[in-house]
Amino acid sequence: GSVQSKITTTRGISNVYSKNDINNIKQFISSKYNGNTKLYGESLKDTFYGVGVLTRIGETNIEATKDICKQTKEQLKQNKFTDIELVFNGVTILSELKCLQGESSSSLGNEQQLQDLLKNKLENGSLLEKTQAINIYFTLSSAKAIDSKTVSIIDPLLIQAVNSMVSLMDEDGTFKSVSTDDEGNLQNTAAAYFALARLSHRLKSNEVDKLVAKVVNKVDTVLASADETTDSLYFNDLSTTSSLLHGLLSLASVNDKVADVISNKQINQISEYLLRQKNVESLSDAYHLIVALKRCQKNSISQPISLALVKSIYSPSGLNDIRVRVTDIFDQPIEASIVINKVVSSKNPRSTPILSGKEMKFQSSDNSFVADLSNENLKLGSYNFEFKVQPVDTDSYKSITNIQIITITGAVTVNDMKLSYAPKSDQLGSPKTTNEVQFGQKLPLIEIPSNNIARIFFRIASEAQPYQAQQVGIRFYSPAREAVVPATYSADAYSYTFTNKDACKILGCQSGNYQLDLIIGDQSITPLQWNFGEINLKFNQSTIPTNRYPEQLPISHNFRVAEKRPPQSISSLFTLLVLSPIAIFVIGLLFVGTNLGRFPTGMGFIYTIGFLGCISATGLLIVNYWLHSTMDVTLKNLALLMIPLVFFGHKSMSYYSNLSSSNIKKD
């Protein structure tokens, strides 16, 4: 699987670390220089980061180099080779600033103390201390700034150091700080990889190579702990990713098997991750970024390359100069051959390629590759260009296949604009019924009879080629109405046909003169709006209001007119009149005569009076209801009144009944 993944063609990297980025980081480092302490940032460690960045980006003329060297040496002397990290930082700074030349370790402090420090740390130090001791030793010896006596003491300790370092490797391939630790971490692993690579390179011993091979066998499990997204890969954070990449690639330079484990694609993914960390905020991040990018640029596994368009928008006349550049991660040009594999429309990427297998020519003047597509009949629009890049140096670079979108934009013209109308649609093609207008001009007012069918016909062309735009509409407008209708595309031409009924529907049956505009919109052309004519339309139907809620008059409430009433006097007169028959009744009674002598006595009297009283009360209750009360109250009172009424009624009636039956018996 790893072999297969190694030959996978990638898209290359989407971005590079350009000169601009280098200038930005240079400015960032300079801004951290402290004139008082003669150091970058706060400490010797920050200075180690700052100097590391500047030397790696090829900044040869570092301001205040002498001051920094002087300050570093002073700090080393003061420390008297006691703090291994400080010594490591200091020695590295001096080495990178080339201040170690002609110096001896004794000028930095006591030689014996240095020997003791290195010996102690190599034998008993933690993993990081061991790696720092190894780095100090190698740095000093390559600068020839170390005593031959010290060399004779330290050299034999190195193989032992390799042994003890490899023994700190955990089962998952990570390295522990000390043997008593539970598990290893990636920072230790990175430092161990780098130190082991240096040792293997220096010692050239089979024993060391075997131990290194043992470590390399576990590299795949270390790699598997990476966090991966679709196009990037990293370990925890920038500094871990950077250190581990640095360690891995150093290891790869001494053991070929590493290249089988780490793939071309993974290097690309790590590069993508690194390029997203361009905006650094600390000296440490800056150092780790640049170290990792430099390792990506030059390594023995795979060096990422980038293909970039010089420009992505072309006019039809500029198609003879489609330019791309192929560079490494630091934007340095790479020798290669480029073929445009295929060109397809972006709208329909699966369609048949418009172009395929077009070779690009190298132009040394600006290190770009050029293709002339002016004869390829490319219409306006966006295209997916698939480039295949085959680098010349196949050992360092792998070929990539990259898709870029190129947009061809320009102006369009409208041809054959015709407005025709006729009673029947098959007569529309006849020249008699057709009015033609040149692009940019305007037709005189045309009256379209209401029983006719009308058609607007036109073609859109770009560079004498038919062109299909994304949005093509015809706008009808008058001060009262406005409507835009889409034109239908068919057989390289656009048309819009409408009857009086259609127009009535879109324009709300508002008769009158309408201006006609042609509107063309598309992302790859200059938008166009052309007022090409004016028509008069007449509709038989009544106008439909523009507002869906028609305007309403204010609501006026019609109250019922009071019926005619008679004057008060007539009502009063009638009241008297209607009561007058009572007089007849009373006078009549006088003539007929009443027989009150038979009015009962005793209990009969009480019952009769009670009965009459209840009947009178019922009458009064009705009068009371008429004048003041409600039905509810009246019925309740009536129900109450019914109790004595029924009682007295029954009693008095039975009294009279007994009385009359006893009279009959007497008779």
Partner 1 sequence: MSTTASTSSNNLTFTSIVKSFFESYSKTPQKLKIIDLFLIYTFITGVIVFTYCCLVGTYPFNSFLAAFISTVGCFVLTVCLRIQINPINNFGKTISIERAFTDYLLCNLILHLVVFNFLG
Interface residues toward partner 1, by CB under 8 A: 563-566, 570, 574, 577-578, 580-582, 584-585, 588-589, 592-595, 615, 618, 622, 625-626, 631, 634, 649, 653-654, 656-657, 660
CB of 664 to partner 1, least distance (A): 9
CB of 550 to partner 1, least distance (A): 41
CA-nearest of 396, 437, 401 to 419 is 437
Enumerate residues 6+ apart whose C-beta is below 8 A from 213: 255, 257
How many CB atoms neighbour CB 274 within 10 A?
28
Please say which residue, 58 or 567, places its beta carbon nearer to partner 1: 567
CB of 546 to partner 1, least distance (A): 50
CB of 653 to partner 1, least distance (A): 4
CB of 557 to partner 1, least distance (A): 23
Please say which residue, 3 or 631, places its beta carbon nearer to partner 1: 631
Q: Is 619 exposed, middle or buried (0-12, 13-18, 19+ CB in 10 A)?
A: exposed
CB of 507 to partner 1, least distance (A): 57
CB of 553 to partner 1, least distance (A): 33
Please say which residue, 523 or 637, places its beta carbon nearer to partner 1: 637
Please say which residue, 490 or 594, places its beta carbon nearer to partner 1: 594
How many CB atoms neighbour CB 415 within 10 A?
14
Strand duo 400-408 + 488-490: pairing? unpaired
Please say which residue, 549 or 559, places its beta carbon nearer to partner 1: 559
Please say which residue, 464 or 582, places its beta carbon nearer to partner 1: 582
Q: Is 169 exposed, middle or buried (0-12, 13-18, 19+ CB in 10 A)?
A: buried
CB of 635 to partner 1, least distance (A): 9
Evaluate the CA torsion angle 384, 385, 390, 396 in order and state its sign. Answer: negative
Distance between CA atoms of 7 and 265, rounded to whole angstroms? 9
CB of 558 to partner 1, least distance (A): 20
Q: What's phi and psi for 174, nearest 5 deg?
A: -85, 160
In this structure, which amino acid lies at residue 533?
G
Please say which residue, 464 or 576, places its beta carbon nearer to partner 1: 576
Please say which residue, 362 or 647, places its beta carbon nearer to partner 1: 647
Please say which residue, 216 or 645, places its beta carbon nearer to partner 1: 645
Helix, strand or coil, per DSSP, at residue 278: coil
In this structure, which amino acid lies at residue 91?
V
CA 104 to chain centre: 60
Please say which residue, 8 or 657, places its beta carbon nearer to partner 1: 657
CB of 625 to partner 1, least distance (A): 6
Helix, strand or coil, per DSSP, at residue 541: coil
CB of 666 to partner 1, least distance (A): 16
3-state SS of 209-256 is HHHHHHHHCCHHHHHHCCEECCCCEECCCHHHHHHHHHHHHHHHHHCC
Please say which residue, 88 or 611, places its beta carbon nearer to partner 1: 611
CB of 609 to partner 1, least distance (A): 16
CB of 505 to partner 1, least distance (A): 56
Enumerate residues 6+ apart whose C-beta is below 8 A from 407: 312, 313, 314, 381, 382, 383, 523, 524
CB of 640 to partner 1, least distance (A): 14
CB of 626 to partner 1, least distance (A): 5
Please say which residue, 4 or 595, places its beta carbon nearer to partner 1: 595
Evaluate the CA torsion angle 54, 57, 63, 69 in order and state its sign. Answer: positive
| DSSP-assigned letter for residue 553 | P
Asked if residues 496 and 487 have their Cβ atoms less than 8 Å apart, the reply is yes
Distance between CA atoms of 30 and 92, rounded to whole angstroms? 19
- Residue 234 β-bridge partners: 227
Please say which residue, 354 or 615, places its beta carbon nearer to partner 1: 615
CA-nearest of 11, 464, 523, 469 to 313 is 523
In this structure, which amino acid lies at residue 633?
V
Please say which residue, 7 or 659, places its beta carbon nearer to partner 1: 659
Q: Where are the alpha helices (DSSP H) in 277-386?
A: 283-297
Q: Is 579 exposed, middle or buried (0-12, 13-18, 19+ CB in 10 A)?
A: exposed
Distance between CA atoms of 80 and 90, rounded to whole angstroms? 12
Please say which residue, 553 or 578, places its beta carbon nearer to partner 1: 578
- Residue 413 β-bridge partners: 461
Distance between CA atoms of 119 and 125, rounded to whole angstroms? 9
Please say which residue, 588 or 613, places its beta carbon nearer to partner 1: 588
CB of 610 to partner 1, least distance (A): 14
| DSSP-assigned letter for residue 433 | G
Strand duo 305-309 + 322-328: pairing? antiparallel
What spatial distance separates the first Cα and last Cα of the chain, rounded to whole Å? 143
Enumerate residues 6+ apart whose C-beta is below 8 A from 523: 382, 407, 470
Strand duo 446-448 + 355-359: pairing? unpaired
In this structure, which amino acid lies at residue 445?
L
